[in-house]
Every structure is written in C-alpha cells, then in structure tokens.
A and B are shown apart, each in its own frame.
Chain A
Amino acid sequence: MITAERKPLEELIEFVRPFKRILLVGCNECVTVCSAGGRKEVGLLASGLKMALLQSGNTIEIREHTLERQCDPEYIDELLPMIDGVDAVMSMACGCGVQEVARRYKNMPVFPAVNTKFMGASERPGVWAERCQGCGNCLLGVTGGICPIARCSKRLMNGPCGGSVTGKCEISQDVDCAWQLIWDRLKELGLEDQYLKIIPAKDWRTAGGGGPRKIIREDLTA
C-alpha cells in the first residue's frame, strides 16, 4: 500500500487561507488503510481547519467527500456536482490522487493534505514500514524476499557495509540491517550459495532514471 501522513495543520491552513469555500476529498484506498486520508480523517481535518481559521477571523466552508479511489478518472468524475462553487480542492489522497484531481479539474487549485511517504506494509497495528521503492526490476527472488533497495539505507546490492553492527544499521538502532535479514533468511532456506553470487550493477533506468514511467497493456487499452 501507499502510505501517507497528514501534513502539519499550519501548512494546510496557509494553503486554504485565501479561500471561502473548499472541497476536501478523501480516498477509500491506501490512505484509508493507513489512517491518513479516509472518511474519518476528512472529517477531522475539516473541523480542525475551520476552527483554526476561525481564530484569525476567517470562516471557511468545507465540503467533504471521500472517493472510492482517487487515482481513477471515473471516480473523480463523482466530484463534478460538488466542485461547482468551490474555490479550491484539497486532496487527502496520495500524490497520484492529488494529480488526477488536478488533471480532471483544470481551473481548480488543488492542494495536497498529506505527505505521501512510501510503499509499505503494516508491521503491527499503527506501524507502517517501507518495503518497496518501485525500481521496476524486482530483485526479491535472489535476495531471500527482502529488498535491499527499499530496506538498506545505502541501497547496497552485495552484502552489508561496515556499519552493520549486531544486525542493526548504523543510521539507527531502530533500523534492521537489510543484508543481515537477507543473510539470516537465506541461511534458513539453505540458500547460502545465493548470497555469494554477485548481483551486477543495477540499471536504474527502470526505476525512473529513464524518465517518467508508464505501463501499457495493449489488450486493455481503449
């Protein structure tokens, strides 16, 4: 899932201060699951913004709506009846959603309410951790199911650096050394040989080094 976190309220207030009426749009997918931009967060933010603005004498009308998914145009069309008459849109979706709303409603200022963080997993209730950076050429088959790109601070491809101490990364005791994890798991699987194989230098073009990426499934295109 794509994870996100609400921006500091201060920043959001500045976005909307010039406006009298805005539409606050949530998304019922990833940002709901990571409790950053679902129906409930939309409600909380709307109230928070109104109250914060009131203190400087500004009143604002905030329409609330949460879309099933904010990265598909058909869903975004749903906003049409609501968008009429508002001065701006604030999206609580990930960056994809924000951009899609902006693309669909060309004359409307659109602001992000969350900082989109990473593709991650729910380690335990309330904790999300980065798992994937979308490099476009997955290595997990040879690294024991643990990604050295997303989880090694240096994105090293062939074993740990000198900063790996007792299984932890030198940047923080809270961060596991990805290569320690990879080694442990390969050992468990009886695939120690795999570790000795050199992974060649990575071609980062698939990771965005070659410009914005696109996937086309011709059989599905309209």
Chain B
Amino acid sequence: MVEMENIKVAQGHNKVLVIGGGLGGIRTALDLAESEKDVILVDKAYAVGGLMTQLDRTFPTNNCDLCTLSPNLSESGRKQHIELLTMTSVSGVRGEKGNFTVSLETAPRYINMDKCTACGECYKHFPECVRFTPGLDHRAPTCMRYPQATPQAFSVDLEKCTDINALIKICPAGAISPDDMGRRREVRCGSIVLSAGAALFDPSGLDYLGYSAEPDVVTNLEYERIMSASGPTMGQLVRPSNGKQPKKIAWIQCVGSRGLQKGAAPYCSSACCMIALKEAIVTKERFQNDIETAIFYMDMRTFGKDYELYLNRAKNKHGVRLIRSRPHSILRANNQDGLRLSYTTDDAGEMKNEDFDMVVLSTGFKIADDVRELSLKMGLTLNASGFAMTEEFSPVETSKSGIYVCGMSESPKDIPDTMVQASAAACMAGKDLEVSVKDPDGDLPPERDVTDEALRIGVFICDCGENIGGVLDVAKIAEYSQSLPNVVIAEPQGHGCSRQSMEQIQKSIIENKLNRVVIGGCSPRTHEAKFQEVIRRAGLNKFLVEIANIRDQATWVHAHLPEKATQKAQDLIRMAVGAVAEAHPLKEHNIPINKDVLVVGGGVTGMTTALRLADQGYKVYIAEKSDSLGGLGKVLHSTLSGVEVRPFVNDLIDKTKANANIQVILRAIIVDHSGMPGMFKTGMQTGPQMFYRTIQHGVTILATGAVANRPKQYLLGESEAVGTQLETDALLADAPETVKNWDNVVMIQCVGSRVPENPNCSRICCQSAIKNALRIRKLNPDGRIFVLYRDMRTYGFQEEYYLEARKQGVIFVRYSLDQLPKVEAAGNQVNVTFTDPILGRELMVTADRLCLSTGLAADEDSTEDLARIFKLPRTSDGFFLEDHVKLRPVDLPVPGFYVAGTAHSPKTIRESITQAQAVASRAQTLLARDSINLGAAVVRVDSNKCAACLICVRVCPFDVPFINADGYSEIDPAKCHGCGLCAAECPAKAIQLMQFEDDRIVAKLEQLFERMVG
C-alpha cells in the first residue's frame, strides 16, 4: 500500500484539526503554523484551494485568484507545522476539548506522490481518467484542478480506466500505483476548526429560469470557469450553445437565496451582488463596447468596505446596467438565437421583453449535505439551514466546546470576511493547545560562493494567466531576454509563483549554474520574498534576484496598447538584468523580539484582542483615550437577534481589569512612535495630569473604533421627534412607555451614507432599523412603521429578520437620491413626505418619531493623528487601510501593525469581535518568533572614502550614524532603517545602501536607454 501523502501522522494531541482546505482552512492553518502550532489540514478534494480556485477573478481588486491564492497554497504545502491530507474525509469525532480523537478516511489516489512529477503524460494518453473538473466541461484540459495545485500531483480514476497496464507504462516516473487502497486512521487533536465551505444552489429545478434546457443559461460559477484562463474554453468568452462570443449578457440575482424560489434558502448569500458586479466589470473590461451587461436585482448589497465605490464604478465607468426587477421567465424566443427575459420594473406597469445572448444565474450558497451530516456527527447544533450555530458574541465557537467554525460553514460570506473569521478561528483553536516546541529552520542547502564566478543570469517570465500573457507574448519576451548580455537562460514560467514553477526555477538555477536571477512578473512588494526563498533553496544568496514588475507596470496599465506594453516589459526586464549583474550576496541581521503588545482603544474590540493575547501569556497595554473602557458598546442595548449588549460589555470590562497580563492606561493620547516590528516604542500622555510615558512593545493593534455619524439633516437635533437609530435603541431600553405611544414611526435609511460626501455604505444601519422596527412593533403592535430605504442590505441571516419585519406589517418604501424624503416640523411631530415608487405618488406621514439610520463614521480626529504618528494609510473616508483587502484584511501595510473593529470599517459588535480575535491570531504569528529579521537593506560605510564630514550623522532620521574612534562614520546595521538618506547626501560617496547601491540604480538607467542608443 502506498501512503499517499507520505506523512506520518504524529500521535500527540497538541494540535488543531482543520476540516476543509479552502481559503478559510488555509488561512487558519497558516496562522496556526506561523504561531508555531501544529495543524492537520484535511480536504476531501484532490488538492486544496476550495471554491476560490474556480473563480476567474475576485472583487474588489479584480485580481486573478490563482495569483493571490497560490503564494498561500505553496506555503501551506510547505510549512513544517502543517500536515496536509487531501482526498481525506472525517468519519467520526470522539472526545472533548483538549483531547479529541478523529477518524479519517483517505481515498486512494492511485499515484505515488513521491514519484509523480505532474508531467501530464498520463492525462495526454488517458484523458478518460479525469475524475473531477470544475465548471462546465467534464473534460477539462487537465485533471489537476488548476495550474497551482497543492499537492502537486495527478490523480487517477481507476474505474474509468480500461487499460491499467498501459497507463502504468505511459508514466515515465513510474508513479502509477493501482494497488493503492487508501487508508483509515485515527488522529488526536486538542481542538477542531470546521471550515468546510459551501455548496451552490442547483437551479435545475426552476423551469422558468431555463437552466436545464438552455445551454446559454449558466450559473455564476460556470461563468467564472468560462472566463478563467485555465477553464474549459481557455478563457474565451463564448456561448455554450454555439461557441460564438455573446454580445449581451444578463445576470439574475438571488437565485436560491432570500427564500424566493422552490427550495431556496431563506437567508441572503451576501457575496452574489459583488460577484455579479465583478463578473460584469471584468466582462466590460475585456470587451469594452462590444458587449452589453445588465444585472437584474432586488437590493444591491454592496455593504463591505469600499464596495459601494465598486458599485459606482460598475455603473458609471463601465456602464453596467442595473435593473431592479425579478425577471418572470427566461425563454428562447421562437426560432430566435437569443434568450428572452420578461420582466417589469417599478415605473412600468406592463411586462417588458428583452433578448440576451447569455444569462448568468447568481446562485446562492448553501451547506452541502455531507457537511451537515459531519456537523451533526460532531455534535454541533445547527440552524434550520444547516449552518453551525454560534452565540451572538462568540462568533466562531460552536455549541461544542473545542470545536470552532469559520467561513461559509458559519454563514454565507465573501473572501475578506472568511479570512477574518479564519484567523479568529485560529486564535480560538490555538488557545486550546499547549505551547509547542519550535522546530529549527528547514534544512536549506549551504550558500554557494558566487563572488568569483562569471555572471550567469537566468530570466523567468510569468504569464500570470491572462494578466501578463493576455496582453503580450511571454515566449517572445523570453526570447528577447535571452539576447541580453550575461543571460544564460530565459524562459516563460506560467504562474511563476505556483509551486510547480518555483520548483522549476529552483531546478533551473542548479542545472544551469545560475548565479543571478531575474523574474519578470508582478510587484516585488508582494512577491520578492517568495522568489528570494526560491533562489535560496537553490543554494544562492537570496539577494541575487531582481523582479521586473511587468504586470502592475506594463500589462495592467497598458493593456489596450499591447505593443507598448511589450516594449515596456522588455525595457523593465533589461533594466532588471543590468541591475542584478550588480547585485552582491548580503547577510541579514536579526534582533530579539519584544513580546509585549500595545492595543490602542479600549472598546469591545480592544478588550477582546487584549484578553485573547493575555490568555496566551503576552503582556498587553490598552491605551484608551477616554476615561473608561467600553467604547460605543456601552451605548448600545440590544442586537438584532435580541441579545442584550450591556451585561456582555460589563463582563468584558471586569475580565479586562482583572487580568494580570493587561495594563489599562486611561486618558492616553499617543504622541510619538518609533522603532520597528518587534521593537516599537510609543510615547503617550496619560491621566488627568497628562504625564508622558513610553511603552516598548513588539506589535501595535489599532482598535480605535468609529463614531456615531450625526449629519445635520432631516431636523436631527432640531426636533425632539427626530433621533438616530442609536438613540432609538436607548429609548427602547430606557423609556418603553414613550415608545408605546408612537403610532406612526418613520425610518430613513442611508442618512449620511451612500451620498457624494460619504459614498460608502455604513453596513450596520439596515439591520439596526429592522432591529428597532421589530422592537417597536412588540411594544405597540398597532402602530405603523415606515422604512424609507434605497436598498435593504440585510445580508446573511439578517435577511430572516427583514422577512419577519415585512410579515409583521412594517412598510418598506424605496426612495432614490434624486427624490429624497422631505421632513417638516409639525409641533411635537414631524411631517415626512416621500414618493411611493409603485403608486408613483407623493405620500405624507405625520410621524411621532423619525429614526434616522446614520451609521458610523471614522473618528477623524483620532485616526488622522494616529495615521500621522504611526505612518499608516487611510481610506478616503478616514478608516485605516489594510494591507490587502482580500488576503490580509486585518494586517496593516506597516509590518507589526494590525487593525480591528470599526476602525477598519463600520460593522456589528459580533463582526468586531471576530476581527478582534483575528487580530490576536495575526499578532501571534509575529510574537511567536524569538527574533526578528531586519533584512539586509542597510547601509555600509567605506571607511577609505569617508571624510568624517558628519552629514550622515546629521541627516539620519533615527540618529544611528556616529563618527567612531578611528575617525570614520559607523552605522549599526541592527539600528539602520534602510532609508538611504545618508547614502544620498554623502559628499564622499562613502555610503552605499545595500540592494539599492548606486551601481545598481545607474545600471538600470543605462539599460533603460540602451534601446535608444543601440
């Protein structure tokens, strides 16, 4: 029997089992591994990656997913702390938190993964052995699910294979192993994370949508496959019916969500609006005016951070048509080529017919049957739709102690929210383990001394799917690169950051005895470290690589001018080749890490993060600018699900104060900050006397919250009858008698949000309106409640409360920006006038109470100061800007800084708690190390040239250089920040900044103009 994954599963229980190797599971596993904790990651598929690997691109960056995901995947294939078990399912779980025993069943792969080189010969000759293909075509070009598959191996479907001996013979590596029997085993673990993902609603049963009958009606996932470069059409957008390019495409939202169709889920699937917008934008980007796009929707739910801007971009820049309507039917018109959609809109009384070439159904997410079964087997309490239930303020804890849930298994959500929850689950699951002993660094080969070698440069060009390869001819670029001086080998590398390509590059370096490497690919900001690792594994010093950013700086920005993009890509590569010739081996510097944590902000988020980290033994300082803990959480009384907030917040405050590892500093105003991750120093003025003190810490967490928005509108602050939802929440708790007497209540949504001054959605207002409407209803069942809204954005399970409110007779009336409601004072009441779009008439309600859904706004005063002191970027509306919207949603771009809660963007308490836990996990990935790597980008002084002029001493922003006893400038590499100011001003040219030496910069300039001269 062959052990497929060739991993000996250790029998200790001090590890976390992660079920599901989608994006969420990978994030959880990586967070735990980086925090030096052991993980078993199981996935029933042949390779990890989950649903995301089937998407073409993801919003809002419109990156190709493979590129953003693959660095994570290859990492997860590599990390020492992770045991990856693919084709493996969980058949049973016994035991309790701290000591679970889990039965695993691994299906046979029939390929020895140690031998398989993924050459593809087996597939070429026996394509019928394909077991799984995503998307449309069951005969996809490869049986690997996508080019960056981890683990890197094929799998064989023995049942479909007619001539096994021939198959065995065809494999040059001798990897085919028909005797493979799979295996069962038991593993022990301390805690479990369920991140099994979601399945998609199957629209086959809905005749009127024509999915079963019409090939040109596809689901959104199928559309992704059609658009994907690795999909069945190799990225050609064609109609399945006739292979021609469509001219007009419609999207239909809420298929299988919001309880609309037979068998549909009652909840909102949360991500489909953005997915449809993304698909429409990407389609428009590719085909411009050659294609028309229209989205038929009920409510456009772009509630995430900056998503409203994305919606505006779709509408205004790309001309995506948005039609608020639920089409009645999709039929193929008689003898017609197109599909006829019949629908009505608010303003038109009669049915409209419009023909489209393709229709995309935005199918919602649901829990797969096997996941539901597994959850029940594990003893989890599930809601009616099969999602694992959690308490309001314990967002990732299932009903069973020691088992946590994240991603779609908890509720439908998009990638950023999944990533946040995955980190939160890592934090909570990791808490149940004992601290494990650290493994030494992997066994790297010794570094080859290249100082006396003649230059041998290798150039590897990524096509990055369509991103580069779609604009220019990668093979030609490689050919061109081959002609450059000192270049020994130049070749296209597909997705250079894929595991396979990285291994090939590594091999090529060794085989061709390369001593310098140039990657033509994406940004060194994101990928330099990856390629440095690759060349280090090939025995080269990691600083002998240059990256030419031919994606971000050429193909992405000059996509419409392929010739110029090609020319520029060649220029950039030539510059990199010239520069890498000047690169020298460098040594990195390490210093011990300070493991204390500074949390700025003592609200629910700050306290939650602090407690999670304090639990793990870290000392935490909470700097709170007001004179008490609790933040906005102290003001709020009830959540949508009816849970009281106050007891929770008070309990949190008590726990925080009682924790010996937490020091709370009240009335703390941060005034200065210096240092680097692992050794920060922050100065603050504290207490009533404003004493100055400094704190030394290793990481900084911003949990500074947001403020309740109060725009001067609709008589807010002028009439007693007008208040915000937050004030209404307080009245409901403190003065129910008053509320009882409200016979007419009007609520206006999006006050101060989704307007030109503040274009973003405030996310929380729709649910708080529903929450207050239901509570008012309870107190006064006969009163009338009008909610004036633009789009009701009750995402996820909130939708069920929205349905409940409708059922209870709350009246929802839509208004638009060009027809705002009008409010006039009328004694103790206010007259609210609005237009009913269906009646097409103006109505007036004399309201006892007008509740304005004003949402949250960034706390401009404090975030501006903090952004300046900490050097952090903010969004245009003043929230802190995370490092990567999708993959690093709580990491800030400055290393060692994290953000959580409403300082990141508006969100509910539950969501803030999730982020707080996520941040605790992310912080641990840094704190778990003993030393930090300062890199090698520091300056060096040539004492022979130094004139001891003092210019470096004076110019250094960090006071590092000094004139030593020998009379020369000395700059401590452990303290140098690597800015290079001294190097730029040294009049004797005695100082060079490593990696940015003058020779290297001048080489780039020389090479840039080589073309013109030569």
Spell out A's residues near B (CB within 8 Å).
Answer: 28-29, 32-33, 35, 38-41, 43, 66, 122, 125
Cβ of A41: which chain B residues have Cβ within 8 Å of it?
A: 987
Tell me whether A32 and B987 are in contact in the complex, defined as CB-CB below 8 angstroms, given that A38-B947, A39-B945 are known contacts.
yes
Q: How far is the CA of A35 from the CA of B987 in the complex (A)?
A: 6
Are B989 and A39 interface neighbours, CB within 8 A? yes
Are B947 and A40 interface neighbours, CB within 8 A? no
Tell me whether A33 and B987 are in contact in the complex, defined as CB-CB below 8 angstroms, given that A28-B945, A125-B951 are known contacts.
yes
Cβ of A35: which chain B residues have Cβ within 8 Å of it?
A: 951, 987
Q: How far is the CA of A213 from the CA of B252 in the complex (A)?
A: 97
User: Nearest residue in B to A43 (C-beta to C-beta)?
Assistant: B989
Are B949 and A32 interface neighbours, CB within 8 A? yes
Ranked nearest first, the 3 interchain pairs of A and B with the lowest CB-CB distance are A38-B987, A33-B949, A39-B989
Are B951 and A28 interface neighbours, CB within 8 A? no
Q: How far is the CA of A28 from the CA of B946 in the complex (A)?
A: 8
A-contact bits for B968-1012, CB 8 A (1 contact / 0 none)? 000000000000000000111110000000000000000000000
21 contacts between A and B (CB under 8 A): A28-B988, A29-B947, A32-B947, A32-B949, A32-B987, A33-B949, A33-B987, A35-B951, A35-B987, A38-B947, A38-B987, A38-B989, A39-B989, A39-B990, A40-B988, A40-B989, A43-B989, A66-B988, A122-B950, A125-B951, A125-B954
Question: What's the least CB distance linking B81 to chain A, in Å?
Answer: 50
Tell me whether A39 and B988 are in contact in the complex, defined as CB-CB below 8 angstroms, given that A32-B947, A33-B947 are known contacts.
yes
Q: How far is the CA of A38 from the CA of B949 in the complex (A)?
A: 11
User: Nearest residue in A to B998 (C-beta to C-beta)?
Assistant: A43
Cβ of A66: which chain B residues have Cβ within 8 Å of it?
A: 988
Q: How far is the CA of A118 from the CA of B951 in the complex (A)?
A: 20
User: Nearest residue in A to B946 (C-beta to C-beta)?
Assistant: A28
Cβ of A122: which chain B residues have Cβ within 8 Å of it?
A: 950
Are A39 and B987 interface neighbours, CB within 8 A? yes
Q: How far is the CA of A38 from the CA of B990 in the complex (A)?
A: 10
Which of B947, B950, B954, B955 is close to A28, meaning CB atoms less than 8 Å apart?
B947
Are B986 and A40 interface neighbours, CB within 8 A? yes
Cβ of B945: which chain A residues have Cβ within 8 Å of it?
A: 28, 39
- Give the A-B pair count, Cβ closer than 8 A: 34
| Interface residue ranges of B363-421 to A (CB < 8 Å) | none
A-contact bits for B954-976, CB 8 A (1 contact / 0 none)? 11000000000000000000000
Q: How far is the CA of A32 from the CA of B952 in the complex (A)?
A: 13
Given contacts A32-B987, A33-B987, A125-B951, 4 further A-B contacts (CB under 8 A): A28-B988, A33-B947, A38-B947, A40-B989
Tell me whether A38 and B988 are in contact in the complex, defined as CB-CB below 8 angstroms, given that A32-B947, A32-B949, A33-B949 are known contacts.
yes
Question: What's the least CB distance linking B107 to chain A, in Å?
Answer: 67
Q: How far is the CA of A33 from the CA of B945 in the complex (A)?
A: 12
Q: How far is the CA of A32 from the CA of B949 in the complex (A)?
A: 7
Q: How far is the CA of A41 from the CA of B989 in the complex (A)?
A: 10
Cβ of B949: which chain A residues have Cβ within 8 Å of it?
A: 32-33
Spell out B's residues near A (CB within 8 Å).
Answer: 945, 947, 949-951, 954-955, 986-990
Question: What's the least CB distance linking A89 to chain B, in Å?
Answer: 20
Q: How far is the CA of A32 from the CA of B947 in the complex (A)?
A: 7
Question: What's the least CB distance linking B992 to chain A, in Å?
Answer: 12
Q: How far is the CA of A125 from the CA of B981 in the complex (A)?
A: 14
Question: What's the least CB distance linking A179 to chain B, in Å?
Answer: 31
Cβ of B947: which chain A residues have Cβ within 8 Å of it?
A: 28-29, 32-33, 38
Q: How far is the CA of A125 from the CA of B989 in the complex (A)?
A: 18
Cβ of A38: which chain B residues have Cβ within 8 Å of it?
A: 947, 987-989
Cβ of A40: which chain B residues have Cβ within 8 Å of it?
A: 986-989
Question: What's the least CB distance linking A214 to chain B, in Å?
Answer: 27
Q: How far is the CA of A39 from the CA of B985 in the complex (A)?
A: 11
User: Nearest residue in B to A66 (C-beta to C-beta)?
Assistant: B988
Question: What's the least CB distance linking B707 to chain A, in Å?
Answer: 43
Cβ of A29: which chain B residues have Cβ within 8 Å of it?
A: 947
User: Nearest residue in A to B987 (C-beta to C-beta)?
Assistant: A38
Q: How far is the CA of A40 from the CA of B986 in the complex (A)?
A: 8
Q: How far is the CA of A122 from the CA of B947 in the complex (A)?
A: 15
User: Nearest residue in B to A124 (C-beta to C-beta)?
Assistant: B954
Q: How far is the CA of A79 from the CA of B273 in the complex (A)?
A: 74
Question: What's the least CB distance linking B966 to chain A, in Å?
Answer: 15
Q: How far is the CA of A33 from the CA of B951 in the complex (A)?
A: 8
Question: What's the least CB distance linking B230 to chain A, in Å?
Answer: 50
Cβ of A125: which chain B residues have Cβ within 8 Å of it?
A: 951, 954-955
* Chain A CB within 10 Å, residue with most, of B949, B955, B990: B949
Cβ of B954: which chain A residues have Cβ within 8 Å of it?
A: 125
User: Nearest residue in B to A29 (C-beta to C-beta)?
Assistant: B947
Question: What's the least CB distance linking B142 to chain A, in Å?
Answer: 55
Cβ of B989: which chain A residues have Cβ within 8 Å of it?
A: 38-40, 43
Question: What's the least CB distance linking A113 to chain B, in Å?
Answer: 15
User: Nearest residue in B to A42 (C-beta to C-beta)?
Assistant: B989
Question: What's the least CB distance linking A44 to chain B, in Å?
Answer: 10
Q: How far is the CA of A35 from the CA of B221 in the complex (A)?
A: 65
Cβ of B987: which chain A residues have Cβ within 8 Å of it?
A: 32-33, 35, 38-41
Question: What's the least CB distance linking A114 to chain B, in Å?
Answer: 13
Cβ of A43: which chain B residues have Cβ within 8 Å of it?
A: 989
Cβ of B990: which chain A residues have Cβ within 8 Å of it?
A: 39
Q: How far is the CA of A28 from the CA of B990 in the complex (A)?
A: 11
Question: What's the least CB distance linking A28 to chain B, in Å?
Answer: 5
Cβ of B986: which chain A residues have Cβ within 8 Å of it?
A: 40
* Chain B CB within 10 Å, residue with most, of A38, A41, A122: A38
Q: How far is the CA of A33 from the CA of B953 in the complex (A)?
A: 13
User: Nearest residue in B to A122 (C-beta to C-beta)?
Assistant: B950
Cβ of B988: which chain A residues have Cβ within 8 Å of it?
A: 28, 32, 38-40, 66
* Chain A CB within 10 Å, residue with most, of B954, B986, B989, B990: B989
Question: What's the least CB distance linking B947 to chain A, in Å?
Answer: 4
* Chain A CB within 10 Å, residue with most, of B947, B951, B986, B990: B947
Q: How far is the CA of A122 from the CA of B955 in the complex (A)?
A: 14
Q: How far is the CA of A125 from the CA of B986 in the complex (A)?
A: 13
Cβ of B951: which chain A residues have Cβ within 8 Å of it?
A: 35, 125
Question: What's the least CB distance linking A37 to chain B, in Å?
Answer: 9
Q: How far is the CA of A33 from the CA of B990 in the complex (A)?
A: 12
Q: How far is the CA of A35 from the CA of B954 in the complex (A)?
A: 14
User: Nearest residue in A to B1002 (C-beta to C-beta)?
Assistant: A43
Q: How far is the CA of A210 from the CA of B243 in the complex (A)?
A: 103
Q: How far is the CA of A122 from the CA of B990 in the complex (A)?
A: 20
Question: What's the least CB distance linking A166 to chain B, in Å?
Answer: 31
Q: How far is the CA of A35 from the CA of B949 in the complex (A)?
A: 9
Question: What's the least CB distance linking B341 to chain A, in Å?
Answer: 66
Q: How far is the CA of A39 from the CA of B945 in the complex (A)?
A: 9
User: Nearest residue in A to B984 (C-beta to C-beta)?
Assistant: A40
Question: What's the least CB distance linking B583 to chain A, in Å?
Answer: 22
Question: What's the least CB distance linking B967 to chain A, in Å?
Answer: 13
Q: How far is the CA of A33 from the CA of B954 in the complex (A)?
A: 13
Question: What's the least CB distance linking B1013 to chain A, in Å?
Answer: 14
Q: How far is the CA of A172 from the CA of B155 in the complex (A)?
A: 88
Q: How far is the CA of A33 from the CA of B987 in the complex (A)?
A: 7
User: Nearest residue in B to A125 (C-beta to C-beta)?
Assistant: B954
Question: What's the least CB distance linking A57 to chain B, in Å?
Answer: 18
Q: How far is the CA of A185 from the CA of B864 in the complex (A)?
A: 47
Cβ of A28: which chain B residues have Cβ within 8 Å of it?
A: 945, 947, 988
Question: What's the least CB distance linking A123 to chain B, in Å?
Answer: 12
Q: How far is the CA of A77 from the CA of B369 in the complex (A)?
A: 89
Question: What's the least CB distance linking A5 to chain B, in Å?
Answer: 13
Q: How far is the CA of A29 from the CA of B950 in the complex (A)?
A: 13
Question: What's the least CB distance linking A27 to chain B, in Å?
Answer: 9
Cβ of B955: which chain A residues have Cβ within 8 Å of it?
A: 125
Q: How far is the CA of A122 from the CA of B950 in the complex (A)?
A: 10
Q: How far is the CA of A152 from the CA of B949 in the complex (A)?
A: 28
User: Nearest residue in A to B986 (C-beta to C-beta)?
Assistant: A40
Q: How far is the CA of A35 from the CA of B985 in the complex (A)?
A: 9
* Chain B CB within 10 Å, residue with most, of A32, A43, A122, A125: A32
* Chain A CB within 10 Å, residue with most, of B949, B950, B987: B987
Question: What's the least CB distance linking A62 to chain B, in Å?
Answer: 16
